[in-house]
Amino acid sequence: MKNFLSVREVKQLPKNSEFTIMGVVSKFTRRKDRNDNPFWEMTVSDSSGDIDGKIWQASSWRNTQGGDNFPIDPDNCGLKFEGSSVKVEGIIAEFRDQVQYNFNGICYLDQTDYPPRMFARHSPVKSEILEDMFISLIAEISNKKLRDFVEAVFFRYGLWEKFRVWPAAVTLHHAYTGGLLEHSVSVAIGARDMARHYADFKIPVSTDLVIAGALLHDIGKLEAYTVNPTPQVTPQGCAIEHITLGYSMFMKCAEAENLDKDIATALGHILISHHGKLEYGSPVIPITPEAFIVNAADDADFKLSYWKSQIDALNSDTDFTDYLPAIDRRLWRGIRLS
């Protein structure tokens, strides 16, 4: 099979460049244009990132399973593209001053020779390191009842085996195996250090509640997402969303463990307010120092993760991204002082 590029390498190419990539399809949707003609939107992922492409009617579709190579109709071939390995040939175009990737050749690969898991992304931080950091953070909680409760949630109720490998999102940030653990640890460390800082400035903030709330804040993603082998949204994730799912999981554990009601209220408030605004999906807004801090650490971790993924995809001679609707701004590479 001919040489191919990684997703990251493709995103660094100039406009009008042709490319070939191999990866797993994480999203596949059939649509119609204004003239009622069909086209498709496909997201292909590999270990370096995700790329969204448009597939127009004139594109070529082929199946190479079992050593064959024959044309197929994507609507009537009986193949499930989402979650399967493909080779894609395309060209980098421009539409309304934005980069657009057009996929003009799609090849359904032999799934035995090219298993989808070989293209799955993983946290760049070793899982053993993240797991040790997570355990150490729990050990830092000085209030024994709160520490025992957090340990019970993750280890007595069987969440840990999924939590340690689950994604934190489907797109935008930490959308890969181990992403939820990486994000939770990063938020907890940032929030802990912020809590200590403000405690030094005589703000009455509980570092114990901050660490516990940060470690627990995204447990609802265990029900909101699944892996197949790329992150996917579950029906519960679409209909109820991870904050509400997480609060429900938390309250069931709090009742089962007979957690003090005041602690449960303070901790639960962190979980349901951690997105900061009603329009961002939080049922309530933060009203305690601990909730302010976890929201700030969560928001910073999301934005910095998203910034890195977008800057990594830039050409080395480009300093600004295109406008990014997901974050409502362009991003700048910035400067590095020697």
CATH number of the domain bearing residue 209 = 1.10.3210
Outline where the chain has alpha helix (H).
7-11, 127-139, 144-151, 160-163, 179-200, 207-216, 221-224, 235-239, 242-256, 261-273, 289-312
In a domain, 251, yes or no: yes
**Rounded to two decimals, what is the model's pTM?**
0.84
In a domain, 334, yes or no: no
> What is the Cβ-side half-sphere exposure of residue 29, based on CA atoms within 13 angstroms?
9
Is the bond preceding residue 167 a cis peptide, omega within 30 degrees? no
pLDDT > 90? residue 289 = yes
**Domain span including residue 84:** 7-119
In a domain, 319, yes or no: no
* Same domain flag for 90 and 156: no
In a domain, 322, yes or no: no
pLDDT of residue 130: 97
pLDDT of residue 229: 81
Average pLDDT, rounded, for the chain:
93
Percent of the chain at pLDDT exceeding 90: 77
Question: Which residue pairs, CB below 8 angstroms and at least 24 apart, start in 132-135?
Answer: 133/185, 133/189, 134/181, 134/184, 134/185, 134/188, 134/215
pLDDT of residue 331: 97
The whole-angstrom separation of Cα 236 and Cα 282 is: 16
* Same domain flag for 180 and 258: yes
* Same domain flag for 47 and 181: no
pLDDT of residue 117: 87
* Same domain flag for 95 and 42: yes
In a domain, 324, yes or no: no
Of the pLDDT bands very low, low, confident and very high (cuts 50, 70, 90), residue 187 is very high
Q: How many domains does the chain have?
A: 2
* Same domain flag for 164 and 250: yes
pLDDT of residue 1: 45
* Same domain flag for 187 and 264: yes
pLDDT > 90? residue 313 = no
In a domain, 236, yes or no: yes
* Same domain flag for 70 and 148: no
In a domain, 330, yes or no: no
Give 198's contacts (C-beta < 8 A, 6+ positions apart).
205, 289, 293
Q: Which pLDDT tens digit goes with each residue over 89-117?
A: 999 998 887 889 999 999 999 999 999 98
In the listed set 119, 154, 180, which residue is the last one of a domain according to the structure? 119
Q: Which pLDDT tens digit goes with each residue over 59-93?
A: 999 999 888 789 999 988 889 999 899 999 999 99
pLDDT of residue 208: 98
Question: To which H or E segment does residue 19 belong?
Answer: strand 18-32
Q: Which pLDDT tens digit goes with each residue over 203-225?
A: 999 999 999 999 999 999 999 99
* Same domain flag for 45 and 178: no
